[in-house]
Amino acid sequence: MLRINEIRKEKGFTLKELADKIGISLSGINQQISGNPTLETLEKIASALNVEVWELFTPSVSKEELTALVDHRGRLYKANSIEELQGIIEEIKKEPV
């Protein structure tokens, strides 16, 4: 789960202000936040919020044993456990070269 809205509120931005800051519409940012945003969009959001991209994924109070981010061929994967990370690795291995 992305922390974009949590961080945005902490920084005092409305969703509209954040959308304006990164140059997309309000409906566009809603789609990005609720869907699967690209790494480029995540970088723009992180920059607008003055945080690192990884902070958009890190829970404010983490109880997971790990948080892993994997960028493979432009697709971003997130794992909260070793088992999830192993599943991502297996999925990537199955992709055609």
Q: Are residues 22 and 41 located together in one domain of the fold?
A: yes
- Average of per-residue pLDDT across 72-91: 89
Q: Which of 70, 8, 54, 69 is nearest to 33 (CA)?
A: 8
Q: What token pair was written down for 61?
A: 């109070």
Q: Looking at the whole model, is its pTM more than 0.75?
A: no
Task: Look up the domain containing 91 and give its range.
Answer: 62-97
CATH code at 50?
1.10.260.40
**Residue 61 confidence (pLDDT):** 56
Half-sphere exposure of 39 (CA within 13 A, CB side): 11
**CA gap 50, 35 in Å, rounded:** 22
CA end-to-end span of the chain: 29
The number of distinct structural domains making up the chain is 2
Per residue in 40-55, pLDDT (tens digit) is: 999 999 999 999 998 8
Q: Are residues 50 and 81 located together in one domain of the fold?
A: no
CB atoms under 10 Å from CB of 49, counted, come to 20
Per residue in 9-32, pLDDT (tens digit) is: 989 999 999 999 999 999 999 888
